[in-house]
Every structure is written in structure tokens, then in C-alpha cells.
Amino acid sequence: MERLGGTSEEEDMDMDLEVKEEDDDDERSRTLVAAEEMGGGFFEEEAASSEQIHIHGMGGRRSRPKEEKERTKLRERHRRAITARILAGLRRHGNYNLRVRADINDVIAALAREAGWVVLPDGTTFPSRSSPTSSQVGKPAEASPLTVAVAVAPQTTPHLKGLSPAGGQISSGDNRQCRLKGVYTLPSAYDGQYRQGVIVGERCNENFSLVASCKETANEKQVIDLPQRIPERDFAGTPYVPVHVMLPLGVINTKCELVDPEGLMKQVRILKSINIDGITVDCWWGIVEAHAPQEYNWHGYRRLFQIVRELKLKLQVVMSFHECGGNIGDDVCIPLPHWVAEIGRGNPDIFFTDREGRRNPECLSIGIDKERVLRGRTALEVYFDYMRSFRVEFDEFFEDGIISAVEVGLGPCGELRYPSYSVKNGWRYPGIGEFQCYDQYLIKSLRKAAEARGHSFWARSPENAGSYNSRPQETAFFCDGGDYDGYYGRFFLGWYSQLLVDHADRVLSLAKLAFEGTCIVAKISGVCWWYKTASHAAELTAGFYNPCNRDGYASIASMLKRHFVTLNLCSELRTLNQQAGFSEALADPEGLIRQVLNAAWDVSIPVASVNSFPCYDRDSYNKILQNAKPLDDPDGRHLSSFTYLRLSPVLMEGCNFSEFERFVKRMHGEAVLDL
């Protein structure tokens, strides 16, 4: 039967369905646009795959016209492209772990967990401090999939920026956003300025998510009050601090060949594009002088240095006289030279030794600095010959200013300390460690010191100092009021720590001869656990005589001053994720950093820094920046340089690399645009 206008009822129904579908599409598009305006968007619609319209009634089913199918496909491609970009942004900049074909429920669940909620597999959602009732478990969620359940806010809601002070009411624009998404986002603070939107870029650091859920009630909306991120300090216009990136441990293999030069050049080019100042690389004694005394192979390092020169970057090199492998962060194994290991099998006292007689082959004992036990040479002579060979081999790089600094290894991990907390010997954080003075050469030195003091019976190490994994209060030596502060304790610790200072004094004297006119660097370990106790037990076993009533770093700084050497502090960072571990160990990394900085700056020597463990989040970078450029220093002093540990595929990933680029700009004193 024909109708006015010449259309049939079936055609009219088709048109009505088409208009409804277009309206739905428009609504979805408006939702996605609003979602993007609010902070990146969090919704993905499932694709409509059907190519036909099912008409119930009149007993029929008919195919959609061909042009309508094409229009539907175009709309669907547009929706898919938008949602793909939204999800890609969440994964890249927000570090959300969303599956390949994530839907709205996946995104809402991720948001709920971000805000501290628990989301069960069936969709049941409740605050983490409460638990679902038995009737809730296994019961489908009654709320709309666009709504996240929230707890009832307190009667009096604190005034939040972006909210009216009365009752936590939300503006009409924000109400519109709530209706669209079922999520209301609190303002976030960057550099003292607030912007509105979900903080997707901060997903790398989960401790500072400012996402709040919202649920519409009859008369008002109630908002969860979550802590806001402390506004970041603005480093624009602050002093320029150079940033170097340390290369991977295995960039040079045991045959002294450069591993994957093309891949390395590609990565270094990318680092160059964000204006890093240079790279740092270990020159391993165990590779270069591996097979015979005074037979040096620098081939792989020459190829590496040429790449650095081509890219017009600076180069810092480390004279690594220690073993690589077995410590936290080591992913390759580079032992000491084979000929040194052969000597050690016949004379194990060339290595540091603990109370149980366990040898530590990480590095040579400082007791043989002047002992001719290395094929007729002393340890000092071996170190000097190695450094002199390097200086001669790469003379052109020194003359051209490519090599800007040389760090000289002074102990395990290249740090000035004893290997008191060796994982190989069973140490686990936060154990106090053990004294490492039981080889025959150090025992002989202790005996001479005791006799010179007039108390020969002091020629022994403490017998009540516990073991690697003891706690200070579990030992009679390190407990409050323990023997560490008695007459014998002060004598022993003074001797033990002074040996370390004397060792560095001798090695750095030779380094100044070998590298005259070049910046020399000495690395100090940041042993921060048990720093809040009276004895500072972990520092004492590592060789830093730094109890609460004595400054153990002043003598080290004074020695470095005599040689005009830069102090490089290997420091740990306290993030919210680490609070529990630091609290348990009564650690204070910030306090230790302040003490070392003051000791160095009091004698006017430069201070550089390197992070102990890899970091990728903004909170850790902010800690580094605060230490690099102290806000409260009356003289405006700052670090001379910073070395990032270390180049890796994880660092080069999108979100991580963006944060690192931002960090470099702030270290350089540039203004940054918050993402």
C-alpha cells in the first residue's frame, strides 16, 4: 500500500531506523570528543559488525541498501580510528595495561583500580578498605557499565580547587562531563598551576593518581577526597647541570669487541636528539688485560669512542678494576683478569676476606696495595700501568676534549668502600653486613696499629658484631651504647676506615699523574640503611666511620680536595613505593645525601651523582632534581653533573622516554610544557 510521499511502510521503518542509528552515532561521537577534552578519553565502543537490519513485524527481513552499508563502514572506521588513538595514548602516556581489544569495562575497571578500588572479575566494585558482602560476590553489577560505584563522602567535604566550597557541588560543565562518563576527575597540580582532566601521563607513578569517581544522586553529587600531588618546583632558569647516560654493562664483550654498533649508534642518536651531554662507559680491567700482565686490548673501546666523537658527545670513562656479575643490577659476568684469578688460587689473601674465611673476588684487597704479589708488581703499579696505557692509547680523544672525565675505580662496584654487603656471601637488605679485614695483609696491618697504640691485645676484629643479615640491636657491638663507641671500638673503626682513605689517596695520586689536566672522579657509595640509628652499622662495616656523633665523610672530602677530585655520590631515591622498606631499615637517603653534600661543599670540591637503580617515573626524577639543585642552599650550589644508570630498552619506551626527556630539560634549566 502506498503512502503520501511515495514511500512504503517498510521503507519508512528503514528510514526511522537509519535516523536513530545516525543519532546514536552522533551521541557516541560527542561522548568520545568530550572524553578526549577531559583528559584523553577512556571509552571504546564495540564495532557493529552486522551488515543487515532485522525487522521484526510484518514477518520480513530485508538487506540494507549497498550505499548504507558503505556509510556504516565509514562511520565504523572513524569510530575505530578514534578509539584506537585514545587507547594508544593511554598505553603510551598513561602506562595502562589494556588488552588489545579493550572495551569500556576494561577502561573503567582500570580507572577504578587507579582510584584505590577493588574490581572483581564479575564487575563488582567496592572500596579497598571494605569487603563485598556475601550477596555481592558473584552477583552481576546492577549499575550501568558507564558508572563506577563510590563510597559516600563525609558530611563535610573539604574545599577542593575546581569545586564550590559548599557541599562539594560541581559546576554545570562538570555535571555534563559526569553524565557522559560517570567519572569526575579532580584537578592535578603541575608547577603550581592546575588543569582539569584525568592524569594519564602519571600512570607511571601510581602513587599520585588523582582520579575520583562520581555518582549522581537525587539532589547532589558526592566526590571522593583523594590527596593531591604536591606542586612541582619550577626549575626553569636554574643552573645547567650536564646529564650523561651510562651504557649497558655488556656493550663491549669479553673479546673486547663492540656489540651491535649499529643498534648502539641508533640509540645514542635518539639520546642526542634530546640534548644529553654525553655518555659514560666502563673500561673493564678484566677485558682489556684479561690474559697476560701488561698486554692490553683496547680495540672495542676505540670503535665505541669513534661513534661518540661522530655524534659530537662528551665521554666519561670508568677505570673499572672490579668484577661485574653477582650484584644487584648486573646482567653480565666480567671477572677479574684470568692471570689475577690464577694468582688468587695460590694466594687467596689477595682478596677481601670475612670472619668465616670466605673470599670475595670482586676486587683486590687494599692490603696488597704495596705488596709485590701480582707477578712482581704491587696492586698500585698494576692500576697505574693500566691507566697509563689507556691515556696513551686514546691520546687524540683527550686532546680533542672528547673524554671529559675519568672515574677511577676504588673498590667493589667501583666505589670507595669494603665489600661488606656482598650478595654472593649471603647478604640481603637490610642486613648490617660484615667487616672485611681477615686476609693476612690486613690482619698484619691491624697488629701493627694495635702495637703502635700500645695495646697489642686490640689486634683483633670485633667478635660481637653479628653477621651479614643481623640488625644493629641484635649485636652487642652496634646496639645503642654498644662497643662501637668504646675505647677499643673507636680504635678499630678508626683504623678500618683510615685504610680506605689511604687507599684512595694513593690510587688518586697515580691517576692525577696518568690523566694530568683531566677531571678525575671518585665514586662514594650511599649506604643509607640504619642511618637513623646511633651506630650507623651498615656504614661502619662498609668503611665509613659515621656514627651519630662523628662526621665520617669529612676526612674523605678533605683527601679528595688535596687531589682536586670530584666526588660522585651513588645515591638511592625514596619514593612512596619504597617507604615501607626504608622505614623497616630506619634508612634516610635524603639525610645521607645532605651530609655528603655538605662535607664536599665545605671544602669546595665538585659533587656529581649517579642513581643506584634505574628509575623511570616523575617522582624519582623530582627527587634527583631536588638533590641536584637544593632549594634551601644559601649559596646556590648544585651538582656538577649527573649520570643516569643506565641505557636500556625500557628507558627508550614511549612513556619512559618522554619522562626522561622532560627530566633532562629540567636539569638543563629549561622550561617544560606539562603533558
CA-based nearest residue to 515, from 565, 479, 590: 565
- What is the DSSP annotation of 86-139? HHHHHHHHH-----TT--HHHHHHHHHHHTTEEE-TTS-EEETTS---TTTTTP
Distance CA 456, CA 450 (A): 5
Residue 262 makes CB contacts below 8 A (sequence gap 6+) with none
pLDDT at 655: 93
The segments of the chain whose pLDDT lies below 70 read: 1-64, 92-101, 116, 121-122, 126-230, 328-329, 572-581, 675
pLDDT at 612: 87
ω into 430 cis (within 30 of 0)? yes
pLDDT at 100: 61
Q: Are 462 and 492 in contact (CB under 8 A)?
A: yes
Distance CA 231, CA 36 (A): 24
Q: Are 493 and 506 in contact (CB under 8 A)?
A: no
pLDDT at 102: 73
Q: Are 522 and 507 in contact (CB under 8 A)?
A: no
Per-residue pLDDT tens over the stretch 299-336: 999 999 999 999 999 999 999 999 998 776 677 899 99
Side chain identity at residue 142, one-letter code: E
Q: Are 282 and 415 in contact (CB under 8 A)?
A: no
Q: Are 321 and 338 in contact (CB under 8 A)?
A: no
Distance CA 222, CA 169 (A): 8
Side chain identity at residue 185, one-letter code: T
Torsion of CA 646, 647, 648, 654, to 10 degrees: 110
Distance CA 658, CA 651 (A): 9
pLDDT at 675: 52
Q: What count of other Cβ atoms lies within 10 Å of the Cβ of residue 460?
A: 13
pLDDT at 133: 43
Distance CA 649, CA 384 (A): 36
- Which position has the grid cell 626549575? 235
Q: Are 522 and 416 in contact (CB under 8 A)?
A: yes
pLDDT at 402: 97
